[in-house]
Amino acid sequence: MKNPIPPATTTPAREPRSPLARAAALAVASAAMLLTGAAQAHGPQDHARAAGPVAKEQKAWGIAGDAAIATRTLHVDMDDRMRFTPDRLSVREGETVRIAVRNLGQVRHEFVLGTEAVLREHAEMMRRFPDMEHDEPWMAHVDPGQTGTLVWTFNRAGTFDFGCLLPGHYEAGMVGRIDVTSRGDSQ
Ligand SMILES: [Cu+2]
């Protein structure tokens, strides 16, 4: 008998690994996740978004809006000085607005809504994985000379940010602020 080893049916390789090997495996796994899952891998509730129509997912800064009920259009320009014009927007809680983002520059820019913390984290990831593809209803990627549009319902009061998260842009100051005034604050 040359083969005393029983067929490995249900014996998973679970021998302890060195912390280094584990860290390396983890890094590879999370890199793969970032590259394939892109922005969807940002939060626990972001997993397994089905293909097809955009799922409306409540975020801290609001939720995807219906173009049909958008009450107005906010216009924002982006340029290669890494600036948004205007860089300050104001809406009322509950408002659904269209945001038309025009790229006046020679390079691609993007408009991404979020909290300051989320944008900072996302920008950091973009620096590590510059080719990361991502597309969500709270962002618009705009090629030079083009205008991108997003429709968003600001159903959470607060102060939020928008930024261009292409590598280096956010760090160069390509960020703006949006104030969502609470229903209770209106006169
Ligand atoms: Cu940019």
Tens digits of per-residue pLDDT, 34-88?
444 444 444 444 444 445 555 689 999 999 999 999 999 999 999 999 999 999 9
Report the share of the chain in percent with pLDDT over 90.
61
Residues within 5 A (CB) of ion ligand 1: 109, 164, 166, 169, 174
What CA dihedral angle connects 95, 100, 101 and 103, to 10 degrees?
-170
Those residues whose C-beta lies under 8 Å from the C-beta of residue 39, and which sit 6 or more positions away, are 46, 122, 132, 134, 135, 136, 139
Ligand 1 center–CA 107 separation, angstroms: 8
Given pLDDT bands bounded at 50, 70 and 90, which one contains residue 130? confident
Residue 45 CA to ligand 1 center (angstroms) comes to 27
Rounded Cα distance between 98 and 57, Å, is: 18
The answer to whether 71 touches 153, Cβ cutoff 8 Å, is no
Output the CA 143–ligand 1 centroid distance in Å: 10
Placement of tokens 């509950």 in the chain:
94
Beta strands per DSSP E along the chain: 63-64, 72-79, 83-85, 88-92, 95-103, 109-114, 139-142, 147-154, 158-163, 175-181
Distance 82 CA to ligand 1 centre (A): 6
pTM of the model: 0.70
Strand 139-142, strand 88-92: pairing:
unpaired
Going by C-alpha positions, the residue among 56, 31, 52, 42 that lies closest to residue 129 is 31
